[in-house]
Amino acid sequence: MSHHSSAPAARTYLFLGDSITDCGRREDPAELGYGYVRLIAEHLAAHEPASRVINRGIGGDRVHDLAARFDRDVLDLDPDVVTIYGGVNDSWHRDEQGRATADEDFERDYRYMLDQLSATRPGVPVLLVVPFVTDVDEQMASLHEDLDAKVRTIRRLAQEFDTGLVDAELVLREALDLGHTPTTLAADGVHPTIAGHRLLADAWIAAAAQTEGR
């Protein structure tokens, strides 16, 4: 008896983001990096052997940078599932005047990417990852003042465009309940530890399964 009919389709999963997505991909012969994208790729390699994962993270990128390279690094690669993970640098790397990205500029650039996808790839599932900081010190804790509004924007856009949502804030809360500390999740407050990446990957896998089911 043949089981071929139930084999999952060969899909291209594309991850667009900043250093958390990048995670050393340019030093990695497999070009996956050493973070949550690699862990997801390992999961997919087991469960969807014909699928491939493309990492298009670039450390330091803001949402404006993601939007600027959206054609080349997303649309031109004809992905079947798109994950966007940006926002923390818009709060963390303030510009020379000490300002973060204005909320309306942030929303405009984020919306641009989702508009491009809905116009050119209407059937493609999209997952948005909520950016987070862990309160390892007062400086990181103070970033919430700026980041929280951007997180609200991402949540609102996820609803408006009916995308999947990888809720990293919920992941953090649940991890702290397990006995994690801010440092065991992201030692510098931003870049996840191995445990942090594993929790993000698990949350993505759960969100992707939910997105499939809709």
C-alpha to C-alpha distance for 146 and 90, rounded to whole angstroms? 9
- Residue 158's pLDDT is 98
Give the bridge partners for 165, in sequence order.
128
At 97, the pLDDT band (50, 70, 90 cuts) reads: low
Which residues have a Cβ under 8 Å from the Cβ of 180 and sit 6 or more positions away?
195
The model carries a pTM of: 0.94
Q: Which of 19, 22, 91, 167 is catalytic?
A: 19
pLDDT of 5: 61
Report the range out of 84-98, 133-147, 190-204 with the highest average pLDDT.
Answer: 190-204
Q: Residue 149 pLDDT more than 80?
A: yes
Pairwise CA distance, residues 68 & 105, whole Å = 13
H-only helix segments in the chain? 19-22, 36-47, 63-68, 70-73, 88-92, 103-120, 138-142, 144-160, 168-178, 182-185, 194-212
Residue 145 has a pLDDT of 86
The structural domains of the chain, ordered by start, are: 8-212 (3.40.50.1110)
Q: Which of 43, 64, 180, 191 is catalytic?
A: 191
Cα→Cα distances 115→61, 78, 111, Å: 20, 16, 6
**Does residue 23 register a pLDDT over 60?**
yes
What is the pLDDT at residue 101?
87
112-148: pLDDT as tens digits? 999 999 999 999 999 999 999 999 999 888 888 889 9
Strand partners for 82: 14, 126
Sorted by sequence, the CB contacts under 8 Å of residue 139 that are 6+ apart come out as 189
Angle at CA 51, nearest 5°, toward 208 and 128? 30
- Residue 188 appears among annotated catalytic residues: yes
CB atoms within 10 A of CB 75: 17
- Average pLDDT of the residues in 49-55: 96
Q: What is the mean pLDDT of residues 90-94?
A: 78
For residues 185 and 142, the model is more confident at 185
State which amino acid sits at residue 159: Q
DSSP string, 87-126: -HHHHHS--TTS----HHHHHHHHHHHHHHHHHH-TT--E
Which range (3-17, 39-53, 135-149) has the least confidence? 3-17
Compute the distance between CA of residue 76 and CA of residue 58 in angstroms, rounded to an integer: 17
For the segment 202-212, the average pLDDT, to the nearest whole number, is: 94
Q: Identify residue 63 by its one-letter amino acid code.
A: V
